[in-house]
Amino acid sequence: MVSALERDVRERFRRSGYTLTSQRRAVLEALKDFKGHPSAEEVYLVVKKRNPRVALGTVYQALSVLEEIGLIEAKHWSESPVRYDLNTEPHHDIRCIRCGEVTEIRGVEFEDFAARIRENTPYEVTNASLVIEGVCPNCQSQN
Amino acid sequence: MVSALERDVRERFRRSGYTLTSQRRAVLEALKDFKGHPSAEEVYLVVKKRNPRVALGTVYQALSVLEEIGLIEAKHWSESPVRYDLNTEPHHDIRCIRCGEVTEIRGVEFEDFAARIRENTPYEVTNASLVIEGVCPNCQSQN
DNA sequence: ATCAGTGCAAAGACTTTGCACCACT
DNA sequence: AGTGGTGCAAAGTCTTTGCACTGAT
């Protein structure tokens, strides 16, 4: 059976005009398998295991295409490298500023809030996301 | 008369243990004067006009100290350089992905939302902020 | 044959670091 | 004289770019 995600992937590539290449698919697979929010470098390492010929530059390019067509989301936390995740259910993540662990936050509804933003600006909003950082329970106890 | 901000500045430096040097003050002044959200480089250019001997590295260091003690806020939009603003009234900014213009969004209340976040995670939240991007009216009309 | 996509290396942008010097205790 | 801060340059990290090559229409 072809999954809904699979159909969505093909559909988005078709509409965008970009080609669904094996490298781009591999990046998507790597993101699917990766627990947490890998950086481009981390995605690259996973992808390279299966196909050692892929270049880091290609992974960057693939991530940028996948983000552009809405299949993945880029997270800009305050430490440097951009991290990515599959754009499935809307959800929010918090990242520990000590150890870097990323955890999902449940029970917080963002959509009404995003709607309010759209009502209150003449901009055409393309991205409204949360950056949440803190200290995880584990690191708190190590004080 | 010594302004409230001025008192706050001294107080925060005192509590933090950092020294309120002329360079750090100059960075703060530059941020006060700058309309919009300057990058470290832009702050540096302003500061250098008054004191040509300051180094870019010092500006980076000063910004990092000022952020740490809560006097300024760092904004991580999706294009690369971090941009800063004075941490005065809570407010939200949207940045045009075409021209880079930053505009304040009014009429959106974040505090209840932030409280919900705190309730729904075991992390000690140190930073919860919004990244909002879009296309400004001016750039929309240039399509 | 064409043309988007790729691999590779080199360049680029932004930021941090190391270290000698400085200024204030 | 000791300690945190500074100026400067060099190094570092993350990302993009140029270009020749490849692979699918």
Q: Which domains does chain B have, with CATH numbers?
A: 4-85 (1.10.10.10), 93-141 (3.30.1490.190)
DSSP of A18-72: ----HHHHHHHHHHHH-SS--BHHHHHHHHHHH-TT--HHHHHHHHHHHHHTTSE
pLDDT in tens, B116-127: 889 989 999 988
Ranking A20-24, B59-63, B124-128 by mean pLDDT, the lowest is B124-128
**Sign (positive or negative) of CA dihedral A53, A56, A62, A66:** positive
Please give, rounded to a whole number of angstroms, the shortest distance from the CA of A2 to a CA of chain B.
34
Average pLDDT over residues B129-140: 89
Q: Assess whether pLDDT exceeds 90 at residue A38.
A: yes
Query: CA nearest A132 in B: which residue?
Result: B128
pLDDT tops 80 at residue A26? yes
pLDDT at position A1, please? 58
pLDDT in tens, B10-55: 999 999 999 999 999 999 999 999 888 999 999 999 999 999 999 9
- Cβ < 7 Å from nucleic strand D: A 39-41, 56-57, 60-61, 64, 80-82; B 18-19, 21-24, 51, 53-58, 61-62, 80
Chain-wide mean pLDDT for chain B? 89
What b/e sequence results for A68-106 when a residue is b if at least 16 CB atoms lie within 10 Å of its CB, and e otherwise? ebebbbbbbbbeeebbbbebeeeebbbbbbeeeebbebe
pLDDT at B54: 95
Q: Decide: helix, strand or coil at residue B113.
A: helix
Query: Is residue B105 predicted with pLDDT exceeding 80?
Result: yes
Interval B53-65 mean pLDDT: 96
Give the bridge partners for A129, in sequence order: B131
Q: Helix (H, G, I), strand (E, B), or coil: what is residue A135?
A: strand
Instruction: Using the predicted structure, report yes or no on whether residue A88 has a pLDDT greater than 80.
Output: no
Q: What is the pLDDT of residue B143?
A: 60
pLDDT given at position B128: 85
Confidence of residue B2 (pLDDT cuts 50, 70, 90): low
Contact A127 B96 (CB under 8 A): no
Q: Torsion angle of alpha carbons B107, B38, B81, B70, nearest 10°?
A: -70
Output DSSP code: residue A89.
S
A53 CB closer than 7 A to any strand C atom: yes
CB-CB neighbors (< 8 A) of B130 in chain A = 117, 128-131
The answer to whether B47 and B38 are in contact (CB under 8 A) is no
Residue A2 has pLDDT above 70, yes or no: no
Residues of chain B contacting residue A136, judged by C-beta atoms under 8 Å apart:
122-123
Residue B77 near residue B133 (C-beta atoms within 8 A):
yes
Bases of strand C lying below 7 A from some protein CB: 4-10, 13-18
Predicted confidence (pLDDT) at residue A54 exceeds the cutoff of 90: yes
